[in-house]
Structure 1
Amino acid sequence: MKKYKFIIVEGVFVCCLLIYCVKGSFAALSLGNSKWGEILPKKMSQEDKAFSKSLAHYTMGLIYDREGNLETAIKEYKEAVGYDYNNTQVHLRLGSDYIIVGNLQKAIEEFKNVKKIDPEDTKSRFLLALIYTAQKKFTEANSEYQEIISIKPGDLNALTSLADLYVIQENMVEAAKVYEKLLQTNKDSALMHFNLGIIYSRLNKIDEAVKELKEAIRLKDDYVEAHLALGVLYELKGQKNEAIACYEKALLFDPLNVRIYHHLGEVYYRNDKIDESIHQYELILKLNPKDLEAYVGLAYVYLKKKDPESAINIIRRAQSFGLDDFKLLLAIGFAYSLKEDYEKAIQAYNDVLKKEPTNARAHFYLGTAYERVNKKEAAIRQFRESIKFDPEMAEAYNYIGYMHAEEGTNLDEAMGLIKKALELEPNSGAYLDSLGWVYYKKGMIDEAIIYLEKARKIVGDDPVIVDHLGDAYDKKGEFDKAIKIWEECLKFNGDQAELKEKIKKEKEKLKVKNGK
């Protein structure tokens, strides 16, 4: 599924934007509304003169700030601090400028000074938390938010920022707790219900996530992101019609949103509604003729339709707009493989690897193409490259193992590789068949039958699996079982002359066995 994420303040650049917001309140300072204006008496003492000088430097700092002369502004603020160290507003302003010029350590020092001077100040803690988040010092950022919440238990900004921090840390359990607390006093916030729904989905609490997203939509019917997220969750639940309804509802509010058409194209594709899927992708390309993902998606729809020529034409159309991405080359490789033009497929996959030399899937499909043209060693090299770049590429482990089994070579290695594939995907009928076939080649017929029967139970009457299982029963001398299995296979593969010949010979063996 496509993941929905919160907009979380992580970078120093975003921190700077927030700093400017903070500065906005400072810029309004004048003798009438500032600290200095309130305390300056008509007759000035030495202490009062210090305040006056501090104010003068602070004012000059503001002027230099407005001119964009930050270095000089910083000098003025430092002078102001020298005359009036306990004025938190000057420290905040100085820290803000340090952030903008990139001196985060100095900024941290100034905000810490504010905390010492005024233990109840929350602005300094908020800015410190933003800096720590940008530096990925999540423990320190968490502490600052917790301090803000202890000072102002209902501070909405602090609580939502703390939740976002937990999301950055992938601590979804704590993030959910914060939003659950927020919703106790903000039940009518569609945004909070949406965020909690997304967090629940990350925790695999799908039903709870659906409930929160529905509530977000109830509160804000035109909440496009909520409709999209709900559609994705319905897809996860296998409720494709409900998913389509969500995406179509989102279109009512945002008919030019190409992401919605992408969702519809994908769900129709997965639901084998080929024409509807093609229609959605073509709509996207009318809105944006250079949408790479739409071309890729449309090409795969045609490949699913077993129409490689149309897929190739779509890719050429994309390339005519100057699009040159490895995803297009990978798709054209699939198309040529489907046409059994393996030399062109090999060229396409090699072109992918020129752009993406560590692309494990490209190495894997290049290996399959080499295997089809009987370049066994080249194929195995590519499968090993695939595993090197993606140690969880189960297909590659299985392919090498099965190739060895077919050749009757390196059977111990083959068994280890296929068992590794099954560790990664324990319910794969294809991998169970491969393991059964290795046992068969090793002469361990009882073990072979166990795994081949498991494979058949998962996959059904796949001709390869049924053929292997029949061979195993034949090897064990149970000719009647072999005949029965092969005859069942003929029902959906009646044109296999080789299989018919095997059945004929097996019946002759059975006659001999029975003494007839």
Structure 2
Amino acid sequence: SALGDDQKAISIWQEIIPSDIEEVYLDLIRKYIDRRDFESALRYCDELVGKRPNSPVAHYMRGVVLYNMADLKNAQIELERSIKLNYRLADAYYRLGQIYAMQDKPGEAIKMYKLGRRYDPKNADARYELASIFMGKGKEKYAVAAIRSALAVDPNNKKFVSMLKGADYERAARVLDRYLRENPDDQGARFILAKLRVKLGDVLAARRELEEVSRKIPRISPLRKEVHIELGRIYEKENPQKAVLEYKRAEELGGVQMELLQKLLRTYRKEGNEEKFIETAEKLLNLDPQNAGLEYELGLIYEKRAETAHKLGDDKGYKRNVEKALKHLSNAAKIDNSNLRYNLKLAELLERQHKMKAFRIYSDMIDYYPDNADLYYRRARFMLNFGVGPQSALIFDMEDIISDLQKAIQLDPNHAGAHRLLGKVYDREGDVKKAMEEFEKALKFDPRDVEAMLYLAGRYSEMGKIEAAIPLYEKALAIDPDNLDAIKDYAFLVLANDEKRLPKAHRFLERAYRIAPNDPLIVMNYGYSFYLMGNPQTAIGYYLKALKLDPTSVLTRYNLALAYEAVGEVEKADQMWREILKLDPKSRYAKVARERLKR
């Protein structure tokens, strides 16, 4: 920019925008195009078209942006609108010609270029570009006609134009070779000659021509991107890294050919360049909207981004990425509606969003794959977790849920998830015995099922089977060492029942304290572990912190009073005993307090 600071220039333009100055909009749009930020460019195009619906340039610029995004269908609509509003827009005709050529419509493409030539008779590069497109499409007759048209821009080239009449590629190459001896600075013609040499098998000569063109061709020439594409093709075998660099340069200059985008997609996937992969994939989908695999891949990327945003507490980012993931996964499932992988991923994400559509997808897939145990399990899981209203009341019958789970187990007796979920259903129904049996089976078929471990450990603890509960907690924590609820329950059992495991419980409590230093129960139990290991003074510090976090806790006061007594601070201990009597005079802790205060 004139200011030498792109971001500053953009900010100033954005401040001026409300004044509704068309030229300011256009400058801003061009700036975003230069920055390859097509979404922002399109947003300002939309604003400009809204304010100036009869502006041919506004529609033309919108067409250019859409073309750069490889949305050729909508680019064509905008370019046609711009011509209706101003039939002298030569560049709009050229752009339309490129679109028609890429769509294998050579007649329409030539017609557009002839119209463009009428209003821009000196533009040879546009004709060379059309020749390049036709050569890529295998349209020899039309390619040679476009070369003739390019040379005809200069009346002095009549003899060469005449020599090209009815020529094939071999003859066209000889004519251009002669032409360039007399006109060595015509880089467009040299580029076309290089392409012809490739067609005729003389790759070494083609590379020399292209490398010269790459150095000399003006930056503003529309042929620059074509030059880089051709160089990339030649370098692919001898120097793949150099080829990738050329393809990237071509894309930066606005290349939207499918072959180019496919090569770059593979490159960005391999490099792990997610931003460029997404940008390129979106362009490819505009050219090939039936690519279900690519839609699915984008859906997975956005799902992963949504998970990252959720972990960071970025609600807007989470919602935005979930919407994009759902869009692409839905597209994949629509394109290939019986594909199990696409539909399961879509239903899984919809299920996490509590959308009823997930149930319908699971049901549809069961119709396609009636012997798939996992589908019955997933549908049952959805039915069990889908509730309405403030109390999340179930709208599905438990009988239907149990039926699906029993069907899943019938089809796959070793399906750990189905056994676990059936255990949860029985637990809800109050049948603890059956619930435990199913959780035991889940753990048998999946020895790393933490949920099953914790459920069984909790039930064993309630039944007084401490020796059975504690090892299950330890197994669960070996797999999920940051599970705070598991640490709390495990520590409670160990601190009260198992002196040998005290050091291990202390280490887990230390870990929990680092994760949640403001959880009063964790702070108190961490302090209590110090007390049991013979360090009451350190325990007091944690008890005081726990009391600040939960000033109503009778248990913390009880432990604090014992610690004060252990270090000889009887007055402070008595103060705690009196507070316990005041807070909860009927508790078992109050009974101990009365006995202590009698001494």
Q: TM-score with structure 1 length normalisation?
A: 0.48
- Larger Rg belongs to: 2
Q: TM-score with structure 2 length normalisation?
A: 0.43
Higher RCO structure (Cα 8 Å, ≥6 apart): 1
